[in-house]
Structures are given as C-alpha cells and as structure tokens.
Structure 1
Amino acid sequence: MESPIRDCSAAALSWLAHLVACETVSGAASNLDLLRRVDGALRGMGFAIRYTYSPDRQRANLYASLGGDVGGVLLSGHTDVVPVAGQEWSRPPFTLTREGDRLFGRGVCDMKGFLACVLAVLERLDRKALRRPVHVALTFDEEIGCVGVRSLLEDLHVFGIRPEACVVGEPTQMRVVRAHKGRHALRCAVVGRAEHSSLSGIGVNAAEVACALVAEIARQADQLAQGEGDADFYVPYSTLAVCRVQAGQATNVIPERAEFDFDLRFLPSADPDAVLAPIHAHAADLQRRMRARVESSRIEVSRRTAVPALLPTAAEDAIVERLFQAGAARGSHVAFTTEAGLYQAAGIPTVVCGPGDIAQAHTADEFITLAQLALCEDVLARLLAS
C-alpha cells in the first residue's frame, strides 16, 4: 500500500538520522543518549515523562503521556537493535544513507523508522485540538527477550496508567496485524563424565546424550507439523528448532559437557507447556539412564525467554477500525514475536502496525523506503486526530 505523499517529512528524516547514529545494540550498549534527546523534545511538547531502568541503569524505558494517564492510544517501539558483527555491510551501518527511495542503516526498519515517524508527527500535533490522551513508549532490549517492557508494564500497573489501546510499530508494511506466535527460548546443558576416547562406554558422553535429546526435539517438531494448525499463519503450525550446539574440546576426549539452545514458536491457540512436556519427559528418562552409569550426570533444561502470543480478540476491534479509517491496511497473522503479546497480557488491547518489511529486518544493508515512512506519518497523524 502506498501513501499519496511520495516523500516523508524532513523531521522524520532528521529523527531517523539521529536514532540510527545511536548504537543501541541489545544488551551491550546504553540507550540513554538516545532517550535524552527524545526526552527534551517530548517535554517541550508538554508530555509527562517516566523512566524504568535496567538493573545496571545503563538502559531505560521512556514512557510519555500527554492529556492524562487513562485512555488514549499508546504508540510503542523498542530502541535496541541487533548487532552488525559478522554481516557484510556495503555502507556504514550506524550512519543513515539514502539511495533512491531507500534509506539504509541498522534499525531503520526494525524499528527506528517507526519511532522517527512518531516523533515527527507529534511535533506537528495540534495539542489544543487533542481529543484523547497520547502515550509513547520507548523500550530497551526487546531483541533479547522483550526484557525492558516487562518493568515498564509493572510501573504502569502500580501507578494506574492505562491507555485504552496500544499500537506496536514493528514492520508490517503498515498492515494491521492482530495475531502473532509466542516464543519460548530454552537452553539444555548436559553434564556427563570425560574419559579418554579409547575408553568410550566407561564415562557418559554428554555430546551423545545431547544428540539424543535433539533427535527427540526433531520428532516433536515433525508431530507439530502434522497436527492441527492455523491457516492464517504463513507457517500454519507451532515450530521447534535447535539453533545452537556446542560440545567437546578434542577428538580424543569424550565430552563431559554439551549445550544447545532451542526455540519454540507457538500458535496463539497452543499451550507451550504442553508442547514442551514430551521433551522434558525424554530428558528425565535420559538422565535416569545417565545416572545409572555416573551418578553425578545431569540434564538441565532452562527457559531463557518467554513471550506470549498475540491473540485476535474483540477488545482490539475499536483500535483496528480506527487504524483502517486512518489508512492502514488489513494484515495477516505473523510468525515473529513482539512486545504486543505482553501488552495484551497486561490487559491493554494491542495490535502491530508499522512501516517497513520484516524481510529487511536484521539483515546487512537493512533498509526502509521513503514511501513507507510517508505512509506511516500519514496514518499516525490521522489516528491521533480521530
């Protein structure tokens, strides 16, 4: 879908250049410099500002309200970006560059483009004509498990701040998404007993045990693919994937330790604990067999991240209709996970709608088009005026 405006505003470009220049890599870099400039701009518009911080106080969530704490729309986006290390960029990743209709830079699509549009539209907002409150949330460390938004939501609950709806501006090409999969990220550590490889069978080979559990995960993934699904998703079933495996130090030593990470992406209708139960049961059975040989052997499965799915409910009907009236298009369900599931779980009707294509997110030479930014500005301006 294209906007009648062929170019985005100079204000959006200026904001995007500033946001991209802030190297806010998840978990590794502070976002406080980015927030300082945003804070100054929003306070100048009359917004009341709140902060919640990471434990080391190097990263923060910014929450801004204009027109009251209750009611109105919350526009939410994360400030962190994924690393550029190991990617072959053809241009400086933290400098906004333009080529034709495309703007390049880390985070332009996911999701600093949306934040730039929000800030540009708010600068033009006729605050005297405002009919409802406006809220803005900028969160930290979304890319590593939606970390920051959790403390933000706790803060809103404690102080009775309750928007009537939330729009999370992840890249959907300005299509309204009402459902996405949930995610559990898990780590499995297997501890056996090292031996010289010529004595295989005396100790417990942690790598072999890990492989047996990986095979069980693959079997469960196949069963999910054959089970009941949801045709509204591009991948219409819950998925399991092993994403990282590490074991062993030398070819003549039986590995004492093996570790792997695996990922569950589950449909809104699925129970993640039920999906994982057969894997936990198989791990317990393997551990019993390990301990029959070496009592100190063990398998530890830990959950690293848990983000709920976003479900389509009647509570979102009003904000969906307002977005349609503002010029957004109807979208399908998506497989990627966002903070929207957490906002919804906190009782705030939430949808996902933002500029850019998820296919460009996290890639080398990440880009967004000027037309997408222009459309986003147009939709947001109409939404806030409604």
Structure 2
Amino acid sequence: MTNDLRPVLDILNRLIAFPTVSDQSNAELVGFIAAYLDQLGVHAQIVPNASGEKLGLIAQIGPSVEGGVLLSGHTDVVTVEGQAWTSDPWVLTHREGKFYGRGTCDMKGFLALALAAVPQMLAAPLTRPVQLAFSYDEEIGCLGTQPILAALDAHQPRASAVIVGEPSLMTLVTGHKGGLGLKTRIMGKAAHSSRPDIGVSAIEAAARLIQWHQKETVQSQSQTTDNGFTPPYSTAGVGTIHGGIALNTIPENCVLESDIRFVPPDTAEDWIARYRREVKIVEATMIERHAGASITVDVPENIPALRPDPNGVAAQLVRRITEDNDDQMVSYQTEAGHFQAAGYSTVICGPGSIEQAHGQDEFISAAQLRHGQAFMKSLIQTLC
C-alpha cells in the first residue's frame, strides 16, 4: 500500500454523494458498498431495520476463525440544514489539502479507508480476519448497533478487538461517557389561572424535575476526580420543554426532553432509577390534588459508556500500530460502548478531528487520510 490517496478519494467521493441524513434511507449507499465488495469477491451480509428502509452491513476478509479485528463505522450523517456551506456538502471538494463534504470526518473518511484497503487485505496472507461492520442511525442514538451485533453473532466468528473509527486524529481513545436521552410527559389538570386551587400545573411539576437535573449535576461536580474526561463529571440537563396553551390557563400538559452524560463507573441503570424516584415523588404531590395526574418517562436513547481498559486486547493492538501510549477520554458517545457491553475489547481510533464533525464546511485533511492509510497497512501486517 502506498501513500497514493486516489483509491481512498474515489470511494470517499462516492460515499459523500449519498445524502444519508438520519431521516433518510441509506440503502443506496449500502448497495454501493455491497456491490464494491462483491466485485472483489467479498460477500456482504445486509442487516435491515424493521421497515427495510435502513440497512447495516457486515463482511469478512480472511480466514473464518476467531481472534480477528473488527472495523466499525456508521453510514449516517447529520443534517446540513441551516448551515452556510461554501461548497456543495454532497460533493467532495478539495481546497488547500482539505477535503470538504458532509461526513468526510464523521465518519465516511474511515469507511473509505477501510474499503480502499480491502484489495490489500485480500492479497495478504492473513491468519486472522478483518471484519467490517457498518451501521445506520448512530447519530440518533446508535439505533443500528444492536442488529449489527446480532448479525455478527449469527454469521461471523468472534473478533478479539473492535476499532471504532470515529474521528480521533488517529490517536487512541480508550474511554467515553455514556449517554441517556429521556422524554418525560406530565399530565396535570387544566383550570383558569384565577383558580389555581382547582388545577394542577404540569409546568410547575416540570420545574421541579428541571431542578433535579441541576442538583444532580452540581452533586456530581462536587465528587469529581481526575479521570481524563472534559468536564470530569456527569452532567444532566433539559434540552427542550413544551407545555401550556395560554398565559391565563393552568397548563395541563408538559413534555421535557433531557440529556444525561455520565462518566464511568456510573451506569445508565443507576441514573434512570434515580430519576424515576424523583418522578414518583413529584407525581405523588400532583395526585394528592388530582387523581388523574401522571408522569411517564421514556428512554429513547441509552448509550453505554466506554469504560477505559488500557491493557485490553484492542488498546494494546492500537498502541503497537500507532505508538500512542496515552489514554485519551472523550465526552461524546459512540457505538464503542455497545460493543464493549457485548463483550468485545473495544477502542476508538479514526481520522479527522471531532471539532470538524457536524459543522458547516466539515472536512478531513489529506494528512489524516494518509495516517489512516498507514494504519490500515500496519493492521494488515499485524494479522498476517
């Protein structure tokens, strides 16, 4: 493998042209990848969601034995709506050593690197396989990860290491925060604002729950340790609130959407249990005034933290390839937490910077793509 970027850029150009925003189908992109692999003699297993509109993909190069390395990435991207791009976000554009386009950094650059390396994988005398796992709907809660994990269990021997190629400037990331998305629906009792004695305000109940988020963050901050995360404590905050119909009406309904980012060893289960206990207390005070009052909590997003495992198989593998002996922690979430929760030794290492992800004029540099090429070359050699 040389430093010629043309094979990578040819594939990246095609991948960027598919506007795989999470509210749209990614079927055409996955079809392109499957056809590309098929031309090389590699069978791709398609993993559809329940509707068939979203597709994941798994594939394997090399002997069908355990102990290989799995390269994980997602095919969806965030919207460009409301952003003032200086070039077409769905056309790969080169300017001054940078390649612009939605998804170049997060994370179609990594997908292109992995796919461009497949011919070299096929030509190498691999003694352990390289596995590919490309998912959908990562950007809206890692919804495509569990079907991918089930497909891997059913169709491929178990890998000894998983590398999630999220943008990390090709440095080793061994830990990230976990994440919860909560949707809280509050039902009170409407009344004229002149008679609050006969109404039950859903917004007042929501205010108590908002305060709970604030208090939990402050308490977590007071217990902070030097753990490598920024900030080094768990955080809870309300992102949206909708309720009420008029200023002179006691609000009957209110909906909160909140976000919790927790540091290991905190768990999602602990945070959900604590929140539900507070909800029960608030709900009880409402029911005292109106038997029909209620609060329900849904958990549309639950992403496990990636717990640091600096001596794990995946970390040691990436250390050998990158010569990076640091243990970097990040505050964003990835599919890595799900892979680790399923028993895989997992780390993050991919091209590009998270600072470019999701913004206007997203880009990946030629230097980062070359770093990625060198990484793939060393990985192949390690598995021979």
Partner of 1:236: 232
Q: Which deviations, in whole Å up to 9, do the C-alpha atoms of 1:287-322 show, x marking residues without a partner?
A: 111111111111111211111111223662x33333
Distance 1:146 1:257 in 2: 30
Distance 2:15 2:323 in 1: 24
Offset at 1:367? 1.4
Structure 1 residues not aligned, in runs of 5+ = none
Partner of 2:154: 158
Instruction: Indicate the larger mover: 289-298 or 42-51.
Output: 42-51
The verdict on how the C-alpha distance between 1:186 and 1:250 changes in structure 2, with shifts beyond 3 A counting, is: same
1:369-380 mapped onto 2 (5 Å cutoff): 369-380=365-376
**TM-score normalised by L of structure 1:** 0.93
Distance 1:94 1:200 in 2: 54
The verdict on how the C-alpha distance between 1:119 and 1:328 changes in structure 2, with shifts beyond 3 A counting, is: farther
Partner of 1:67: 62
Say yes or no: does 1:325 pair with 2:320. Answer: yes
1:8-23 mapped onto 2 (5 Å cutoff): 9-23=5-19
The verdict on how the C-alpha distance between 1:347 and 1:231 changes in structure 2, with shifts beyond 3 A counting, is: closer
Contact 1:356 1:369 in 2 (8 A): yes
1:119-130 mapped onto 2 (5 Å cutoff): 119-125=115-121, 127-130=123-126
Partner of 2:364: 368
Say yes or no: does 1:52 pair with 2:73. Answer: no
Contact 1:326 1:380 in 2 (8 A): no
Counterpart residue type for residue 10 of structure 1: R
Match of 1:355 among 346, 351, 354: 351
Partner of 1:184: 180
Instruction: Indicate the larger mover: 219-228 or 189-198.
Output: 189-198
Match of 2:253 among 245, 253, 257: 257
**TM-score normalised by L of structure 2:** 0.93
Counterpart residue type for residue 140 of structure 1: Y
Counterpart residue type for residue 344 of structure 2: I
Distance 2:374 2:197 in 1: 68
Offset at 1:335? 0.9
Distance 2:135 2:197 in 1: 51
Partner of 1:268: 264
The verdict on how the C-alpha distance between 1:277 and 1:128 changes in structure 2, with shifts beyond 3 A counting, is: closer
Counterpart residue type for residue 45 of structure 2: R
Aligned length: 379
Q: Which deviations, in whole Å up to 9, do the C-alpha atoms of 1:13-70 show, x marking residues without a partner?
A: 11111111101111x2111111112112212323232121111101111000112343
Equivalent position SS for 2:317: helix
Distance 1:247 1:87 in 2: 29
Contact 1:94 1:106 in 2 (8 A): yes
Equivalent position SS for 2:254: strand
Say yes or no: does 1:170 pair with 2:146. Answer: no
Distance 2:114 2:106 in 1: 14
Equivalent position SS for 1:222: helix
1:248-327 mapped onto 2 (5 Å cutoff): 248-313=244-309, 316=312, 318-327=313-322
Contact 2:62 2:122 in 1 (8 A): no
Partner of 2:112: 116
Say yes or no: does 1:247 pair with 2:239. Answer: no
Equivalent position SS for 2:355: helix
Offset at 1:323? 2.3
What CA RMSD, in Å, does the superposition of the two structures yield over aligned residues? 1.9
